[in-house]
């Protein structure tokens, strides 16, 4: 009988429990490695911007100085490319999807104050070091110029006066160079 | 001779998951001619090559279609890999094959459900989709997502399937096969199903050949074509015989797709046993693609082409995708001739139309 082919399945259905679960009363278990949304260990981020450049949707932005990382979750397609590219491995995919919302907008993650303070200190130290190194270099140059001037002074008085003027100009330039050094260190 | 009139069919129609419009020229209840028009969901994905580099394009290519997304990504990656002339690790090839076949299984089970829905057999539709859910669970377990896998990259794959997961896959495909064997009775022997499918929308072998049909539509008409035999991914290392039927009607197309699910189960089993154990998952590719390649691959719906041309820049010059539904539309118009108006919905479903990828 061609018409009764479905009967065994229909009978089975009478006695089997439902195939579907009563979500949300019974919560859904996501499998391991589910690509739900991106999470960041913001304190490990070095602000290199690799994730920003590789994202196919252009949804990310980072600010290295302020220590922030932002994502518009509605633009993210959860492709996981940024996770693959991040050199510090501080991005990962977590379970649970982005819930619907009324409007789009970026979520910004900021580094904790301690980490920011530590980084700021490091930056200042580096800047100070750079400035000190520069000063040392300049002093060495000044000394050398003075020595040359002294050597030339033996040759002629007119040349000596010229050399002294040059040394003065170098000294006047030094404070400016000192100011520029922190910016170079950032 | 009755009076001729034109009836618009679609783009919104209960039987259509996606928008396609057909102008049906009918005489009484009989269709004389069908004129298709597409273009409702064009998204311009191919032109994104100007704005996304060749690595990012992998994710764009994947989003051409929601159902064969993995195969789109794979086609694009294989094309770019050919341009780079890199040989990806064998394990990556097998992993791609397993995912591609899981994709085919869920696509065909989805279609079987849609077909049952189109001829009004709601129960059968639920059962087919119940089985499909198991395949989706396997995909989610291995890739982390249900439809858009995002595991391909130029040079290989991103994720591995662990030995435990392979065992689960092996067990689940066996379960799916057993459950589908029960349903097969209904699909292929139930008299109500047969009365809606047998002898409807016959496409002869000559017509299918002349109109350039591909995939299950061509195979149901007796053309033994299957691009998997070209041996991309790991298919060259697996035994594969195309599923062919000769009748060319709706019933043959249903039979072909149903048997292809078993074929996929078999291919997955073969792949699991033949897969090399530990190995790299990807080879690094350096530089930018310079050259062109024409990739052909067999998607669940038929043969797709991927044309990629690069000129040594991070942004490729041209990406062109020919999708199987586009090739099957002329076949559909031929099938629709001389059928009853009430069969039109069913016939449109039997080519397994995917309009979004046709229009990209
Ligand atoms: S790639 Fe990683 S380390 Fe670099 S900015 Fe992004 S999250 Fe931070
Ligand atoms: S997951 Fe993909 S889309 Fe989302 S932020 Fe990362 S790269 Fe961008």
CB contact at 8 A, B10 and B22: yes
Query: Does residue B229 lie within any of the structural domains?
Result: yes
Rounded CA gap, B257 and B299, in Å? 12
Ligand 1 atom with least separation from CA of A89: 2
pLDDT for B190: 83
Rounded CA gap, B34 and B330, in Å? 10
pLDDT for A156: 59
| H or E element that contains B290 | strand B290-299
pTM of the full structure = 0.81
Query: Does residue B313 lie within any of the structural domains?
Result: yes
pLDDT band at residue A157 under the 50/70/90 scheme? low
Tell whether B185 is within 8 A of chain A (Cβ).
yes
* Per-residue pLDDT at A177 exceeds 50: no
3-state helix, strand, coil in chain A (%, to 5): 50, 10, 35
| H or E element that contains B184 | helix B163-189
Cβ pairs A/B, distance under 8 A = 63
Q: How many CB atoms lie within 10 A of CB B353?
A: 24
Going by C-alpha positions, the residue among B32, B41, B34, B33 that lies closest to residue B12 is B41
DSSP bridge pairs for A106: A72
pLDDT for A162: 52
pLDDT band at residue A178 under the 50/70/90 scheme? very low
Rounded CA gap, B243 and B100, in Å? 17
DSSP bridge pairs for B304: B297
Rounded CA gap, B98 and B264, in Å? 9
Number of domains in chain B: 1
Q: How many CB atoms lie within 10 A of CB B294?
A: 12
Query: Does residue B20 lie within any of the structural domains?
Result: no
pLDDT per position as a tens digit, A71-93: 888 888 888 888 888 888 888 88
Lowest-pLDDT choice from A105-109, A176-180, B80-84:
A176-180
Query: Does residue B27 lie within any of the structural domains?
Result: no
- The count of residues in chain A is 186
- Asked if A5 and B186 come within 8 Å (Cβ–Cβ), the reply is yes
Give the SS3 label for residue A152. Answer: helix
DSSP bridge pairs for B33: B25
- Asked if B56 and A78 come within 8 Å (Cβ–Cβ), the reply is no
Going by C-alpha positions, the residue among A178, A143, A139 that lies closest to residue A163 is A143
- Asked if B124 and A6 come within 8 Å (Cβ–Cβ), the reply is yes
- 10-residue stretch averages of pLDDT, chain B, 360 residues long: 80 78 86 84 84 87 85 90 88 90 91 87 87 89 86 86 88 90 85 84 87 88 86 84 86 90 91 84 83 88 88 86 87 86 85 82
User: What topology does CATH give the domain A31-111?
Assistant: Alpha-Beta Plaits (3.30.70)
Beta carbons within 8 Å of B140's beta carbon, 6+ residues apart: A31, A34, B146
DSSP bridge pairs for B308: B293, B319
Tell whether A76 is within 8 A of chain B (Cβ).
no
For residue A80 and ligand 2, the question of a CB distance below 6 A is answered with yes
pLDDT band at residue A104 under the 50/70/90 scheme? confident
Tell me phi and psi for residue B353, to 5 degrees. -70, 140
pLDDT for B108: 92
CB contact at 8 A, B181 and A8: no
pLDDT band at residue A184 under the 50/70/90 scheme? very low
* Per-residue pLDDT at A175 exceeds 60: no
pLDDT per position as a tens digit, A21-66: 888 888 888 888 888 888 888 888 888 888 888 898 888 888 887 8
- Asked if B145 and A34 come within 8 Å (Cβ–Cβ), the reply is yes
B193 Cα to chain A: minimum distance (Å):
9
For residue A74 and ligand 2, the question of a CB distance below 6 A is answered with no
Give the SS3 label for residue B108. Answer: helix
Going by C-alpha positions, the residue among B130, B128, B182 that lies closest to residue A6 is B182
Rounded CA gap, B152 and B61, in Å? 11
Rounded CA gap, B216 and B245, in Å? 9
Beta carbons within 8 Å of B66's beta carbon, 6+ residues apart: B147, B148, B356
pLDDT for A158: 52
Rounded CA gap, B297 and A61, in Å? 38
Distance in Å, CA A101 to ligand 2 centroid: 19
Phi-psi region of B76 (alpha: psi -120 to 50; beta: other; left: phi over 0): alpha
Domain borders along chain A are 31-111, 112-153
CB contact at 8 A, B331 and B348: no
Distance in Å, CA A85 to ligand 2 centroid: 10
Domain range spanning residue B218? 42-348
Distance in Å, CA A37 to ligand 2 centroid: 9
Among protein residues, the one whose CA lies closest to atom 4 of ligand 2 = A76
Q: Which residue of B has its CA nearest to A51?
A: B56
Say yes or no: ipTM exceeds 0.90: no
Residue with token string 């341009």: B83
Ligand nearest to the CA of A55: 2
A31 Cα to chain B: minimum distance (Å):
6
Average pLDDT, chain A: 78
Query: Does residue B29 lie within any of the structural domains?
Result: no
Tell whether A125 is within 8 A of chain B (Cβ).
no
Tell whether A3 is within 8 A of chain B (Cβ).
yes
Query: Does residue B162 lie within any of the structural domains?
Result: yes
Rounded CA gap, A111 and A120, in Å? 12
Rounded CA gap, A181 and A134, in Å? 8
Q: Which residue of A has its CA nearest to B161?
A: A33
Query: Does residue B15 lie within any of the structural domains?
Result: no
CB contact at 8 A, B354 and B217: no
* CATH code assigned at B74: 1.10.645.10
Tell whether A35 is within 8 A of chain B (Cβ).
yes
Query: Does residue B16 lie within any of the structural domains?
Result: no
Classify burial at B3, counting beta carbons within 10 Å of its beta carbon; exposed 0-12, middle 13-18, buried 19 or more: exposed
């Amino acid at each position: 009988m061609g018409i009764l082919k479905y009967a065994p399945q229909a009978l089975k259905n009478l006695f089997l429990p439902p195939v579907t679960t009563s979500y949300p009363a019974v919560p859904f278990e996501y499998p391991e490695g589910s690509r739900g949304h991106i999470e960041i260990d913001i304190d490990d981020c070095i602000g290199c911007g690799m994730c920003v450049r590789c994202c196919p949707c252009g949804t990310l932005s980072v600010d290295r100085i302020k220590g922030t990382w932002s994502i518009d979750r509605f633009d993210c397609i959860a492709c996981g490319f940024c996770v693959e590219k991040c050199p510090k491995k501080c991005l990962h995919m977590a379970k649970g999807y982005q819930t619907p919302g009324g409007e789009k907008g970026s979520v910004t993650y900021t580094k904790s104050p301690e980490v920011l303070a530590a980084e700021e200190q490091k930056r200042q130290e580096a800047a100070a070091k750079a400035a000190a190194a520069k000063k040392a270099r300049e002093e060495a140059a000044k000394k050398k110029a003075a020595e040359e001037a002294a050597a030339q002074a033996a040759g002629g008085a007119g040349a000596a006066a010229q050399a002294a003027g040059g040394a003065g100009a170098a000294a006047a330039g030094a404070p400016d160079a000192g100011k520029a050094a922190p910016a170079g260190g950032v | 001779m009755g009076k001729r009139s034109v009836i618009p069919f679609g783009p919104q129609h209960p039987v259509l998951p996606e928008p396609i419009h057909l102008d049906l020229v009918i005489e009484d209840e009989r269709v004389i001619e069908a004129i298709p028009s597409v273009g409702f969901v064009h998204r311009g994905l191919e032109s994104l090559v100007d704005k996304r580099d060749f690595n990012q394009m992998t994710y764009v290519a994947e989003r051409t279609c929601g159902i064969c997304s993995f195969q789109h990504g794979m086609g694009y990656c294989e094309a770019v890999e050919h341009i780079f002339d890199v040989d990806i690790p064998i394990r990556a090839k097998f992993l791609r094959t397993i995912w591609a076949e899981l994709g085919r299984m869920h696509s065909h089970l989805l279609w079987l459900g849609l077909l049952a829905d189109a001829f009004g057999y709601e129960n059968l539709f639920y059962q087919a989709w119940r089985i499909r859910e198991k395949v989706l669970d396997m995909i989610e377990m291995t890739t982390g997502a249900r439809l858009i896998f995002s595991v391909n990259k130029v040079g290989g794959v991103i994720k591995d399937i662990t030995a435990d997961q392979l065992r689960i896959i092996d067990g689940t495909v066996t379960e799916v096969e057993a459950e589908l064997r029960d349903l097969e009775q209904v699909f292929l022997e139930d008299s109500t199903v047969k009365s809606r499918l047998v002898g409807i929308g016959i496409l002869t072998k000559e017509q299918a050949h002349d109109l350039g049909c591909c995939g299950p539509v061509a195979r149901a008409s007796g053309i033994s074509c299957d691009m998997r035999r070209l041996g991309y991914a790991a298919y060259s290392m697996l035994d594969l015989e195309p599923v062919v039927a000769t009748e060319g009607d709706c019933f043959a197309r249903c039979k072909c797709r149903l048997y292809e699910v078993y074929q996929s189960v078999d291919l997955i089993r073969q792949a699991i046993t033949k897969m090399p154990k530990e190995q790299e998952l990807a080879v690094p590719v350096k530089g930018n693609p310079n050259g062109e390649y024409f990739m052909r691959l067999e998607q669940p719906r038929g043969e797709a082409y991927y044309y990629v041309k690069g000129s040594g820049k991070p942004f490729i010059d041209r990406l062109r995708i020919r999708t199987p539904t586009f090739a099957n539309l002329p076949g559909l118009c031929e099938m629709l001739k001389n059928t009853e108006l009430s069969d039109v919905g069913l016939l449109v479903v039997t080519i397994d139309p995917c309009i979004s990828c046709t229009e990209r």
